[in-house]
Amino acid sequence: MSSEYSKKRRFPRIPSCNAVLVNRLGDAPAEELGRTLVMGLGGCMFTSNESFGLGAHLQLLITVNREVVKSHARVVWERGIENGRVEIGVEFTALDDDARAKLGRLFGQSTSA
C-alpha cells in the first residue's frame, strides 16, 4: 500500500465483500442484511436496503473468512445508490481483541499488543 494512502487515513481500508447483519440499537430498533464493500480496522462500508440515519448506533455481525466479527459501530455517512439502496460508512466504537484479530488477518497483520 502506498505511503500517500497511509497519510490520508488513520486506518487502512481494503475492498472486501462480506455478509453483514446490522441491528440498529436504541429507541427504533431495526434489522437488515447487507454486504460490506470496504473493510478497515476502524470501520467499514456496506450496502443496505434501509437508511439507518447519521449517528445511529448499530451492532454488526460480519462474516469474515468464515468467522463472525461482532462490533458496535456508529454511522458516519450515508449515500443513496441505485434501486433505492444505500451505502453506509460506519466507524467501529467497540471491537474486542478477538474481533480485532480476525479483522487484522484480512490485512495480514498480527494485532497482539
48 assigned to some structural domain: yes
Cell 454511522 sits on residue: 75
Number of domains the chain is built from: 1
Given this model, what pLDDT does residue 89 score? 97
57 assigned to some structural domain: yes
Tell me the per-residue pLDDT of 48-96, one tens digit each, with 9 for 90 and over: 998 999 999 999 999 998 999 999 999 999 999 999 999 999 999 999 9
Q: Is the pLDDT of residue 2 over 60?
A: no
Tell me the per-residue pLDDT of 44-54, one tens digit each, with 9 for 90 and over: 999 999 899 99
CATH number where 62 lies: 2.40.10.220
**Which amino acid type is present at position 51?**
S
Cβ(37)–Cβ(55) below 8 Å = no
The model carries a pTM of: 0.82
112 assigned to some structural domain: no
77 assigned to some structural domain: yes
Task: Measure the CA–CA gap between 105 and 29, rounded to whole angstroms.
Answer: 31
pLDDT band, residue 8 (cuts 50/70/90): low
6 assigned to some structural domain: no
109 assigned to some structural domain: no
Segments forming the whole domain that contains residue 55: 11-103
